[in-house]
Structure 1
Amino acid sequence: MNAVATPSTKLSRATAVFTCILAALAGLMFGLDIGVISGATQFIQGDFHVSDHAIEWIVSAMMFGAAIGALGASWMSAMLGRKRSLILGAALFVAGSLLCGGAWSPQALITARFILGLAIGIATFNAPLYLAEVAPENIRGAMISLYQLMITIGILVAFLSDTAFSYSGNWRWMLGIIAIPGALFLLGVTLLPDSPRWLMMRGRTAQAADVLRRLRGDESVAKRELADIAEQLKTPQRGWHLFQENANFRRSVGLGMLLQLMQQFTGMNVVMYYAPRIFQNMGYDTHAQLWFTAIVGLTNVLATFIAIGLVDKLGRKPILYIGFTVMAIGLGVVGSMMHIGIASHAGQMFTVAMLLTFIVGFAMSAGPLIWTLCSEVQPLKGRDFGIGCSTVTNWVANMIVGATFLTLLNSVGNAATFWLYAVLNLLFIALTLWLVPETKGVTLEQIERNLMAGLPLRRIGDRSAQARADRSHGFSARDIRQKDAVS
């Protein structure tokens, strides 16, 4: 018989949900920062009279800052706590946004974008971690998915904002106005409680218990969760030592880094950062370029729901196969249309439709699923280290993509550039087949046992392979069933 929720319990649940939603708004900041530069580049270029190469530096400075921020985020999170790290990230975001709006030179703008990147690097590490540690178990997955959704919504809002300011050509307002939601987020984060897990890590058990009581509204639930955290903390993170000593862990770290390279070199962020230039090359004027860019953002938001609905039904690998195939076809056709020449309105619209098809392929597959896989394949003792390596790789690869696209367009041409990314997506189908495991319906403990038993990476999510590995270590079928039941 289910217990009847008391007013106190309902209030605590509402408090927990509000806390999670507020923390998930870090994803909105992330999305705003990604999207806002897209519509501003052509106006910046006209105002400062800079080359395409300088524009690449302005775009990619944010990713370089994010890589640096992500490198220090783990230490910062442990020393300052998740909440204070988010406060610092929000403060840097506001400062960077204001400096972008008031930039007096290309060099000042590059510096401001670097500061924004530091903010995003800190936030992208701490926000999902904080959400995982404060959300009630029954909504934890939804709250972390909400963070990913907020990123896509932030990109869309930035595209719409850029479109509105495009009529005046005021790129300073485009870049500076995101300081307003950043300031609101900064104020909101100060109201958040500290993470109970971090408080326990610092030996502040009484405070951790108080936070859990307020968030759960049930003394017994809070006590049980407190005991679970204490038990988990008995397994300390020792990722660097494990990386040095264990070849199997090095394989999982390498897989996580490869997955992030695959995600970035699909070409998605090329579209996010340079969509107006792409639409310009299709023959559209400035305002049409930005309206179509907003449609790109809307498509990205809506297609993300496909992944959320299918990931636990079809599995990770089938969705990745579909996504990479759709992306290869979409970019291949866009490249072919640019090679042939887009002379008619029908040709323009068809090319736009194929670019949007590419967006759907990414948003339903590599966008959200790569992050899911990166967290699933890392063993418990090295999870922070492994995910940290994946995150830094993501930003470094992101920076490379942002810093080379215009150079590629100018050196090999529009068609060849899109064909190159189409070929890369075909390569990623093969890499998914050879190296990526299917982790649907498999516990993290089972994946870890398969990994540490030395099974091929593509089979570490294979239940039958795990059972055979257990038998080779002397476990009986009954032992295996009992172990899986416990897991």
Structure 2
Amino acid sequence: MSQPVSSSIATPCPPQASPPGATGVRAALTTAMAGLLVGLDTGLIAEALGFIGHDFHASARAQEWVVSVLMIGALLGSLGAGVFSRRFGRRLALGAATLLIGAGALLCATAGLIGQILLGRFLIGVAIGICTFTAPLYISELTTGKMRGAMVSTFSMLQSCGILLGYLAGGLFAGGGHWRLMVGLPVVPAMALFAACALLPSSPSWLAARGRFEEARKVLRDLRGDEAEADRELDCIRHELGADKAVGGFALLRARPYFRRSVALGIGLQVMQQLTGINVVMYYAPKILEGAHFGTTAAAWATVLVGLVNAVVGVGAIFMVSRWGRRPLLVSSCIIMACALGCAAVIEGMHLQGLGATLSLVAALLVFVAGFGMGAGPLVWTLCSEIQPIAGRDFGVACSTLANWGMDWAVSNTFLTIVGAMGAGWTFAGFSLMNIGFVLFTVLLVPETRDVPLEVIEQHLEAGLPLRRIGR
């Protein structure tokens, strides 16, 4: 439970103690399914990339663009998602994203030119940018403080499961080179989630921010299954909207120093997450393993093992995030990743050969992925959805999501080029150092928000407490 708020801060919103309503949990789980779509594309393109490059005679640089054009789309999607979600609501934003994923997947599957693949992946990227903005934010507003971490972590876990499914589909289709079936696969789950969006409730925080308090009360009572709890939570939301209820975005950023601090922290978290090197491994795992003298088919199935570890650890993270807390998990996660990539750097840098070296490299990658899945993967999205004040939540989460995809593009668009210039050893060593930097960042700046209501975090932030103390 959270510690009492400082006496200098108004405390109308004590931590919630009642269990979450079944309706809220179902709505959060449905929303979290967006993570499956996000992960599925990552796994599929990693397996399909080599076949696309072969059929279209694409250079390494062109293949980098096939991967990274998605991040440009995601960057633009996350930039527009804040405005769209603020105006039309989380549910409509999520529904629009599923339609774009289906359209983009169809374009890729029917491509006769590599330009059509780039366009399709750009559209998928726009949709993924919307999903990664909307889903964690929406989940955090649908659930109570006690369940919030687990539910947002479920989004990340399903993303890991999607990656695994993509790798499995790629492994099954790799024998016949059926890359069109690989890239067209997301159409089916995208349409299923689009239909499910019609059953989701509107966000009570979004309704309240637009002055629709009675609708917000009705939704909260349905979500919580407890009228007194719902009414208390609505009173908290009214209080936190306060004088800033008509202010948002850049206006709030200029007017409120505490909002500038929370936005900067969200951006820093997302930048550091990408500098761990996770998407280098997830997008380019088959190429990394082929470079370690795996055959094409062996590399494909070894990549499935990477995805399996990512998914299994993601399931475990759902339970760990609510028991261990954000800061301990994040620090442990970064230390594990730094050590694993340090080992990979030694193996690649010394050009070690033989079965032992090859298996050691695979083990290092598996440990790295496990380290990411237990902490840096789910917790960054959780924290970014928790630390922003209600009046600027759309803008703050949009800024951090934008930073995520911008840095993701920068890393994925240059990885093969950097490896070609510096070698895999020095490249892995650089990412190892970045993870050590993430440990220091966490110790100095990241708050512990486990079981702390969003309203209490906002009160601490407004009071000017150091960022690492705005939680418990």
2:67 aligned with 1:67: no
- In structure 1, the partner of 2:330 is 320
- In structure 1, the partner of 2:401 is 391
Pick aligned residue for 2:392 from 356, 376, 382? 382
Judging changes above 3 Å, is the alpha-carbon distance between structure 1 residues 338 and 316 closer, same or farther for their aligned structure 2 residues?
Answer: same
2:410 aligned with 1:411: no
DSSP-derived class of the 1:192 partner: coil
Give the Å deviation of 1:114: 0.7
Pick aligned residue for 1:268 from 278, 292, 299? 278
- In structure 2, the partner of 1:292 is 302
CA distance in 2, matches of 1:244, 1:197: 23
Give the Å deviation of 1:382: 3.2
CA distance in 2, matches of 1:456, 1:20: 31
CA distance in 2, matches of 1:15, 1:278: 44
Q: Which amino acid aligns with 2:187?
A: A
Q: Which amino acid aligns with 1:180?
A: V
- In structure 2, the partner of 1:105 is 113
- In structure 1, the partner of 2:101 is 93
Checking the alignment, whether the CA contact within 8 Å between 1:62 and 1:116 is kept in structure 2 is yes
Q: Which amino acid aligns with 1:151?
A: Q
- In structure 2, the partner of 1:358 is 368
Judging changes above 3 Å, is the alpha-carbon distance between structure 1 residues 80 and 268 closer, same or farther for their aligned structure 2 residues?
Answer: same
Pick aligned residue for 1:426 from 427, 430, 436? 436
C-alpha deviations, 1:223-270, integer Å up to 9, x for none? 555555555544525342232234443233222211111110110010
- In structure 2, the partner of 1:185 is 193
Give the Å deviation of 1:87: 1.5
Judging changes above 3 Å, is the alpha-carbon distance between structure 1 residues 246 and 417 closer, same or farther for their aligned structure 2 residues?
Answer: same
Pick aligned residue for 1:163 from 164, 167, 171? 171
Give the Å deviation of 1:295: 1.0
2:337 aligned with 1:344: no
Checking the alignment, whether the CA contact within 8 Å between 1:36 and 1:162 is kept in structure 2 is yes
Indicate the RMSD between aligned Cα atoms, in angstroms: 2.8
- In structure 1, the partner of 2:260 is 250
Give the Å deviation of 1:303: 1.7
CA distance in 2, matches of 1:376, 1:144: 10
CA distance in 2, matches of 1:373, 1:224: 24
Q: Which amino acid aligns with 1:411?
A: A
- In structure 2, the partner of 1:115 is 123
C-alpha deviations, 1:59-111, integer Å up to 9, x for none? 11111111111111121112222222221111111001111111222221111
Checking the alignment, whether the CA contact within 8 Å between 2:75 and 2:406 is kept in structure 1 is yes
Judging changes above 3 Å, is the alpha-carbon distance between structure 1 residues 339 and 165 closer, same or farther for their aligned structure 2 residues?
Answer: same
CA distance in 1, matches of 2:450, 2:27: 29
DSSP-derived class of the 2:112 partner: coil
C-alpha deviations, 1:14-59, integer Å up to 9, x for none? 5544433322211111111222211011111101111111111111
TM-score (norm 2): 0.86
Q: Which structure 1 residue ranges, 5 or more long, are not aligned?
A: 1-11, 464-487
CA distance in 2, matches of 1:354, 1:137: 35
Judging changes above 3 Å, is the alpha-carbon distance between structure 1 residues 453 and 193 closer, same or farther for their aligned structure 2 residues?
Answer: closer
Judging changes above 3 Å, is the alpha-carbon distance between structure 1 residues 24 and 316 closer, same or farther for their aligned structure 2 residues?
Answer: closer
Judging changes above 3 Å, is the alpha-carbon distance between structure 1 residues 122 and 376 closer, same or farther for their aligned structure 2 residues?
Answer: closer
Checking the alignment, whether the CA contact within 8 Å between 1:57 and 1:403 is kept in structure 2 is yes
DSSP-derived class of the 2:388 partner: coil
CA distance in 1, matches of 2:116, 2:437: 39
Judging changes above 3 Å, is the alpha-carbon distance between structure 1 residues 27 and 227 closer, same or farther for their aligned structure 2 residues?
Answer: same
Give the Å deviation of 1:155: 1.1
Pick aligned residue for 1:435 from 437, 440, 445? 445
CA distance in 2, matches of 1:441, 1:387: 20
Judging changes above 3 Å, is the alpha-carbon distance between structure 1 residues 349 and 32 closer, same or farther for their aligned structure 2 residues?
Answer: same
CA distance in 1, matches of 2:28, 2:248: 28
Checking the alignment, whether the CA contact within 8 Å between 2:237 and 2:455 is kept in structure 1 is no
Checking the alignment, whether the CA contact within 8 Å between 2:341 and 2:431 is kept in structure 1 is yes
2:133 aligned with 1:125: yes
Give the Å deviation of 1:442: 5.8
2:64 aligned with 1:56: yes
CA distance in 1, matches of 2:459, 2:89: 31
CA distance in 2, matches of 1:137, 1:218: 15
Judging changes above 3 Å, is the alpha-carbon distance between structure 1 residues 432 and 128 closer, same or farther for their aligned structure 2 residues?
Answer: closer
TM-score (norm 1): 0.84
Select the structure of larger CA radius of gyration: 1
- In structure 2, the partner of 1:303 is 313
2:51 aligned with 1:43: yes
CA distance in 2, matches of 1:22, 1:52: 38
DSSP-derived class of the 2:200 partner: coil
Which is bigger in relative contact order (C-alpha 8 A, separation at least 6)?
2
Q: Which amino acid aligns with 1:105?
A: L
Give the Å deviation of 1:219: 5.9
Q: Which structure 2 residue ranges, 5 or more long, are not aligned?
A: 1-19
Pick aligned residue for 1:401 from 411, 417, 424? 411
Q: Which amino acid aligns with 1:388?
A: A
- In structure 2, the partner of 1:470 is none
Judging changes above 3 Å, is the alpha-carbon distance between structure 1 residues 16 and 255 closer, same or farther for their aligned structure 2 residues?
Answer: closer
Q: Which amino acid aligns with 1:74?
A: G
Q: Which amino acid aligns with 1:64?
A: I
Judging changes above 3 Å, is the alpha-carbon distance between structure 1 residues 129 and 386 closer, same or farther for their aligned structure 2 residues?
Answer: closer
Checking the alignment, whether the CA contact within 8 Å between 2:150 and 2:319 is kept in structure 1 is no
Judging changes above 3 Å, is the alpha-carbon distance between structure 1 residues 297 and 428 closer, same or farther for their aligned structure 2 residues?
Answer: same
CA distance in 1, matches of 2:468, 2:224: 39
DSSP-derived class of the 2:199 partner: coil
- In structure 2, the partner of 1:484 is none
Give the Å deviation of 1:209: 5.3
Identity of aligned residues (%): 45
Checking the alignment, whether the CA contact within 8 Å between 1:315 and 1:438 is kept in structure 2 is yes
Pick aligned residue for 2:84 from 67, 76, 79? 76
Checking the alignment, whether the CA contact within 8 Å between 1:283 and 1:342 is kept in structure 2 is no
C-alpha deviations, 1:365-399, integer Å up to 9, x for none? 21122223334443444333222211110110011
Moved more, 206-215 or 378-387: 206-215
Moved more, 184-193 or 328-337: 184-193
Checking the alignment, whether the CA contact within 8 Å between 2:150 and 2:318 is kept in structure 1 is no
- In structure 2, the partner of 1:332 is 342
Checking the alignment, whether the CA contact within 8 Å between 2:236 and 2:455 is kept in structure 1 is no
Checking the alignment, whether the CA contact within 8 Å between 2:136 and 2:385 is kept in structure 1 is no
Tell me how many residue pairs correspond in the alignment.
Answer: 451
DSSP-derived class of the 2:120 partner: helix
- In structure 1, the partner of 2:14 is none
